[in-house]
């Protein structure tokens, strides 16, 4: 019989042996694709040690514009060269003749290569279809002509589309039941984040070859094409953006040096986003610096006199728009003489056209005396406050939101403010606690142009499978809640048009545009100062053509001095751009 000490050692040895067996089984059999808390794919890692590869498509879903043009990526016909070419005698002369690339450049690029590459990266040499066909007909090992997907250096509507990144902790938090590697790309902002679950890769398409320790071919020079072979993935998210229009709008925003602000352009017919520009722009090397990642068009801002549209709607319905009544526009809200904007005595219509503060401060006070919630009710009726972006139940997600980071806007923050006459008068001209997003302001104009019909704003119309069939639609949807009457909408339409037609109106700059414009200006005090001077938010919001509305447009410049601002020029140039585009399509 063995001594107890020996028995004990044998037991310990057996336990250790069993643990080792279990560990090896775990590595080899149970969790080879998601090993440890970091979900490391051991199969992939082992393959990496003995292969070299070139990723053709990372497998993440794509964003398209409304016409099918790719937004986030581009596909380029490229010349792919493998590093083992330096170890063999290959027909560089024929490749040079077909591509036009000098022989010495081709050889030099291969000599410096440690892994497969597309010639010319990061700006790859682009080949024609004919060149591709002739290159592949040569059948030179390690020389291929393929179509490869590249991320664009400049992405249109980048804050709306959003950014992606690698974050192992967030991957495991979002998708605890999915076996994803730690370096899986996920959306971190914008539509990339909202639609992330649909965009996750099913696998990568790549060219692979096996190497020995010195990088030489291990099993000859056979290069394999690896593809998930799934006809449905990656999906395409079809946005409502117009890529060409978006790029031209961004050029105009930058032309007028709008460093903080931007524009929103809606297609009134289906209430979708045609273009959206937000500044400051994203700095790719440091996206969280300078707030560039923030979509300013979805964040609440002080809107100033644009809010007088809400007060006007409430005044019309409460019979406070008597055309014979005159308001003393030679006085400020506090009753003191108005020096800078002394308009004398004005009626309701001219007060709106010239944006008289005294008129709409008094009207707001009269309205609130009867109902402390009347301004908020009419702001909601005009879709100015509350979420306006598309939301609903889809797939297995309830209350899905296309604009996940959209602010809701507000009129008052407390009962005290609702009942304080001074605060109410300030609110009547869009100051004090009044806030709204540029997206909501654009939607208010679209609502008025449609005769009072409120609709959700879409930035995505559908998700398509890889083979082009529809996976999911995002149909037009009405916004819940009360709306203004067709009569009130018609009255507001005339008021907004008068802003432009009145020789002294705040929109007189738009009288000679190719489309008839209706709209409202806004100059809001921000309470911020720079170099001892007050900063303002400058707005113009409107729609056109007036008789047959197609577009709702908001241009806004934030935190500028009183004598600065380019929103009128920006608004006018967008109108001209759309007119030229319309003529070009006829």
| Nearest in space to 242 (alpha carbons), one of 68, 9, 485 | 68
Note if 483 is an active site residue.
no
* DSSP E strand stretches across 123-196: 143-151, 164-166, 185-187
**Cβ atoms < 10 Å from Cβ of 137:** 11
**DSSP code string of 508-574:** GGGTTSSS--EEEEEEEEEEEEETTEEEEEEEEEEEE-SSS--EEEEEEEEEE-TT---HHHHHHHH
* DSSP E strand stretches across 376-425: 391-394, 397-401
Mapping DSSP to helix (H, G, I), strand (E, B) and coil, where does residue 266 land? strand
Whole-angstrom Cα distance, residue 49 to residue 162? Answer: 34
CB 205 within 8 A of CB 227: yes
Q: Annotated catalytic residue: which of 189, 194, 205, 305? A: 305
Whole-angstrom Cα distance, residue 138 to residue 140? Answer: 6
Residue that has been written with the tokens 């409304």 in this structure: 66
| Nearest in space to 461 (alpha carbons), one of 94, 64, 40 | 64
* First-to-last C-alpha distance (Å) of the chain: 102
**DSSP code string of 456-477:** -BBSEEEEE-TTS-EEEE----
The DSSP 8-state label assigned to residue 419 in this structure reads: H
Residue that has been written with the tokens 């400020």 in this structure: 332
| Nearest in space to 352 (alpha carbons), one of 375, 377, 329 | 329
Whole-angstrom Cα distance, residue 52 to residue 25? Answer: 27
Mapping DSSP to helix (H, G, I), strand (E, B) and coil, where does residue 303 land? coil
Tokens standing for residue 328: 């003393």
Whole-angstrom Cα distance, residue 127 to residue 79? Answer: 7
Beta bridge partners of 144: 80
Residue/partner pairs of 212-217 with CB below 8 Å, 24 or more apart: 215/52, 215/83, 215/84, 215/114, 216/84, 216/87, 217/84, 217/87
Torsion 83-85-87-93 (CA) sign: negative
Tokens standing for residue 389: 């972006």
Beta bridge partners of 57: 205
Percentages helix, strand, coil for the chain (3-state, rounded to 5) are: 35, 25, 40
Tokens standing for residue 445: 């104009």
Beta bridge partners of 81: 117, 143
Tokens standing for residue 53: 């590869």
List residues with catalytic annotation: 305
């Amino acid at each position: 019989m063995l001594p107890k000490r020996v028995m004990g050692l044998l037991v310990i040895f057996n336990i250790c042996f069993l643990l080792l067996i279990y560990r090896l089984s775990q590595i080899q059999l149970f969790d080879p694709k998601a090993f440890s808390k970091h979900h490391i794919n051991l199969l992939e890692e082992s393959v990496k040690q003995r292969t070299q590869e070139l990723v053709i498509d990372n497998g993440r879903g794509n964003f398209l514009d409304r016409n099918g043009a790719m937004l986030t990526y581009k596909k380029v016909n490229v010349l792919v060269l493998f590093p083992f070419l330096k170890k063999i005698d290959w027909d560089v002369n024929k490749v040079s003749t077909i591509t036009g690339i000098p022989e010495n450049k081709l050889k030099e690029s291969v000599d410096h290569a440690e892994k497969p590459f597309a010639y010319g990266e990061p700006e790859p040499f682009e080949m024609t279809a004919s060149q591709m066909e002739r290159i592949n007909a040569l059948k030179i090992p390690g020389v291929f002509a393929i179509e490869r997907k590249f991320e664009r250096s400049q992405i249109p509507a980048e804050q709306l589309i959003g950014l992606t990144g690698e974050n192992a902790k967030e991957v495991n938090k979002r998708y605890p039941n999915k076996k994803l590697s730690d370096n899986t790309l996920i959306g971190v902002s914008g539509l990339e984040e909202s639609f992330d679950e649909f965009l996750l890769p099913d696998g990568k398409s790549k060219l692979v070859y096996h190497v020995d320790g010195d990088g030489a071919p291990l099993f000859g020079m056979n290069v394999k094409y690896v593809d998930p072979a799934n006809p449905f993935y990656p999906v395409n998210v079809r946005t409502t953006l117009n890529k060409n229009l978006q790029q031209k709008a961004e050029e105009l925003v930058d032309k007028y040096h709008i460093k903080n602000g931007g524009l929103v352009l809606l297609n009134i017919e289906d209430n979708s986003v045609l273009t959206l520009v937000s500044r400051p722009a994203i700095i790719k090397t440091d996206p969280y610096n300078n707030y560039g990642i923030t979509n300013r068009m979805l964040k609440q801002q002080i809107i100033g006199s644009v809010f007088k549209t809400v007060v006007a709607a409430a005044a019309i319905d409460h019979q406070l728009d008597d055309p014979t009544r005159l308001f003393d526009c030679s006085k400020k809200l506090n009753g003191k003489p108005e020096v800078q904007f002394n308009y004398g005595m004005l009626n309701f219509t001219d007060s709106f056209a010239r944006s008289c503060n005294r008129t709409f401060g008094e009207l707001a006070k009269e309205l609130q005396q009867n109902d402390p919630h009347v301004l908020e009710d009419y702001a909601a009726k005009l879709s100015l406050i509350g979420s306006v972006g598309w939301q609903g139940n889809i797939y297995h997600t309830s209350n899905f939101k296309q604009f996940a980071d959209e602010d809701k806007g507000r009129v008052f923050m407390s009962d005290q403010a609702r009942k304080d006459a001074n605060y109410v008068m300030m609110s009547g001209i869009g100051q004090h606690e009044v806030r709204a997003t540029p997206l909501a302001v654009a939607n208010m104009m679209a609502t008025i142009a449609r005769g009072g019909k409120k609709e959700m704003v879409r930035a995505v119309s559908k998700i398509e499978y890889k083979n082009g069939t529809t996976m999911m639609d995002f149909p037009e949807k009405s916004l819940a809640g009360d709306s203004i009457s067709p009569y009130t909408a018609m009255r507001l339409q005339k008021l907004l048009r008068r802003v432009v037609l009145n020789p002294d109106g705040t929109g007189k700059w738009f009288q000679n545009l190719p489309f008839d414009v209706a709209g409202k200006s806004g100059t809001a005090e921000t309470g911020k100062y720079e170099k001892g001077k007050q900063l303002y938010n400058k707005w113009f919001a409107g729609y056109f053509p007036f008789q047959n509305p197609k577009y709702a447009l908001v241009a806004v410049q934030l935190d500028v001095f009183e004598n600065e601002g380019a929103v009128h020029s920006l608004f006018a140039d967008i109108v001209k751009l759309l007119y030229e585009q319309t003529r070009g399509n006829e």
